[in-house]
Structure 1
Amino acid sequence: MPAPSSPTRTAPTAPRSSARAPLPASGQKAAGGRTERSRSTRPATASPAGRRQRQLEDKRSTILGAALGLFSRYGLHGTTVDQVAARAKVSKSNLLYYYASKEELYVSVLRDLLDLWLTPLRGFSAEQDPREAIAGYIRNKLMLSRDRPDASRLFCLEMVQGAPLLQDELAHELRELVERKSGVIRAWIEAGALSPVEPHHLVFALWAITQHYADFAVQVQAVSGRTLDDPEFFEETVRNVQAIVLDGIARAPGQDQAASRS
C-alpha cells in the first residue's frame, strides 16, 4: 500500500497534572520480621520523560478506541477523521500528529486487533496438557467475544472485504504463528493425547465457534434470548463449546487398535 502523505504535524498538547504519586506503603515486613517504614516521606514521582511517554500512550489508546468504535460500525470508507477526532475529544490536527492519515489509523487499529486475538494462541506449548490448554483458549476467546465484540466484528469485516490493508500481517505474522502452534498440536497428537486431526482445521474451528458469539451476537440473542453479558449464559457457553471441541478431538480408548485394523 503506498505510504500516505503526512500532513504538517502539530505537537500534541498534553494536560498538566497536579496529582502526586501515592506515598510508599508503610508497615512492610523486612528481613527478620522487623517492620520497615519508608526512609523518606516525600512521594516518589515519575520522571518528566516517563510522564510524557505515558501521556502519549494514553492519547494513542484513546484515539484507537474511538476509531475502533466507528470503523467497526461504519467501515473505513464510512468513517471520517473528523468523526474519530470528535469521539476521541481531540483536535483533528492533534489526531494527525499521531496518525498521518485515516488509512494509517485504520491499519493501526487492525494490527492491535490481530495482536489481541492472537495472544491466547501464543500460549500453546507442547509441555501443556492439551485439554487444559484448549479449554483455556476457548474461555479466553469467548471472553474477548464478550468484552470486545466490536474488535471481532471489525476484523471479520476486513476479512470479508479481502483484507486489502492487512495482507502483509496475515501472510507473515499470522501464518508463522499458526505454523508454530500447529507444530505444538502435532506434538500432542504424536504423544497420543489428541485424535489425529489436521491442526489448521482445528485452529479454524476454534476461531469460528468462539468469534461467532461476537460477530453474530444479534442472531445468538434472537435465538436464545440471551447474550454473553449474562454470567450464567457465558459459563454455559464455555462449558458447551469446550465439550463440543474436546469431545470431538479426544482420543477414545481403543482408538489405536481400531485404526490399526482399518
Structure 2
Amino acid sequence: MEENTAQPQSLAPKPPRTRIQKAKREAILEAGLDVFSEAGFRGATLDRIAAAAGLSKPNLLYYYPSKEAIHDALLRDLLSTWLDPLTAIDPDGNPLDELLGYVQRKLAMARDFPRESRLFANEIIQGAPHMHAHLRDGLKPLVDRMARVIDQWIADGKIAPVDPVHLIFSVWALTQHYADFDVQVRTVLGDEDPFPGAEAHLETLFRRLLTP
C-alpha cells in the first residue's frame, strides 16, 4: 500500500501570489492610504477605498476582509518606516551632526510622505486604538535608548544641556507639522515651497539650541 503523503489542507503551503494579486493588493493599500489620511479611520469606508482602487467592493473583500485589515496593514508598514530616522542616529558619530541629520530626515519624511504622516497623526488623535501596543513596545524603548545616548553626549560636554525626550518631541512637532498642517502652511506661504525655508530655519534653530 502506498503511503499517503498529501498534507492536510490547513498545513499545505499557500501558493505564491500572482503578479495581478500583488498589484491589486498594492492598489488597495495605496487607495486606503489616500482615504484614511483624508477621512481618518471613522470617516473611511470600504466603498470609498474600493472606488479609489478601481475595484468592486466584493473584489476588494477578496484581498482584505475588512476596513480594519487594510488599516492595520498600513500601520504595520508605517511604524517601521517612521522609526527609521531615529534608529539611524549613530551613538558613535558627531552628536551635533547626528541630531541635525535626524531633523533633516524627519523633515524629508514630511515632504515625501505627507499621507503617511497624516495617517499616523489621525491614529494618535483617536487615542491610538490600533497601534498602542506598537507604540509601547516599539517606539518607547527606542526613544528611551536614544535619550540615554543624548544624556551621555550632554555629560561629555558635546552638546548643550537639554531634556532629551522633549528634544525628540520638538523634532517631531517642528517637522511633521509641515505634512499634518499642509493646507495651513501653504495658505500662509502662497505658492512658495515650504521645505527649503523650513530646512534652513530648523538647521539654525537646533544648531543654536544644541551647540555647547
Which interval holds the TM-score relative to the shorter structure? 0.7 to 0.9
1:45-79 deviations in Å (ceiling 9; x for gaps): xxx95xx4665554433221110100111122222
Question: Residues 54 and 201 of structure 1: is their aligned pair in 2 closer, same or farther, counting only changes over 3 Å?
Answer: farther
1:166 pairs with 2:127:
no
1:220 pairs with 2:185:
yes
Match of 1:123 in 2: 88
1:130-177 deviations in Å (ceiling 9; x for gaps): 222222222221122112212212211221111111111111111111
1:193 pairs with 2:193:
no
Contact 2:33 2:115 in 1 (8 A): yes
Contact 1:131 1:246 in 2 (8 A): yes
1:91-117 deviations in Å (ceiling 9; x for gaps): 434433432211121122222222222
Is 193-202 or 83-92 further displaced after alignment?
Answer: 83-92
| Runs (4+) off by over 6 Å | none
Question: Residues 186 and 226 of structure 1: is their aligned pair in 2 closer, same or farther, counting only changes over 3 Å?
Answer: farther
Contact 2:117 2:179 in 1 (8 A): yes
Question: Which SS does the other structure have where 2:36 is aligned?
Answer: helix
The higher relative CO (CA closer than 8 Å, separation ≥ 6) is in 2
Unaligned runs of 5+ in 2: 1-14
In structure 2, C-alpha distance between the alignment counterparts of 1:207 and 1:53, rounded to whole Å? 39
Q: How does 1:124-139 map to 2 (within 5 A)?
A: 124-139=89-104
Match of 1:246 in 2: 207
Unaligned runs of 5+ in 1: 1-47, 252-262
Match of 2:47 in 1: 82
Q: How does 1:140-159 map to 2 (within 5 A)?
A: 140-159=105-124
Identical positions, percent: 44
Match of 1:100 in 2: 65
Contact 1:152 1:215 in 2 (8 A): yes
Is 92-101 or 116-125 further displaced after alignment?
Answer: 92-101
TM-score by length of 1: 0.69
Match of 2:33 in 1: 68
Between Structure 1 and Structure 2, whose CA radius of gyration is higher?
Answer: 1
TM-score by length of 2: 0.83
Question: Which SS does the other structure have where 2:41 is aligned?
Answer: coil
Q: Counterpart amino acid of 2:107?
A: L
The alignment yields a C-alpha RMSD, in angstroms, of: 2.1
In structure 1, C-alpha distance between the alignment counterparts of 2:93 and 2:63, rounded to whole Å? 41
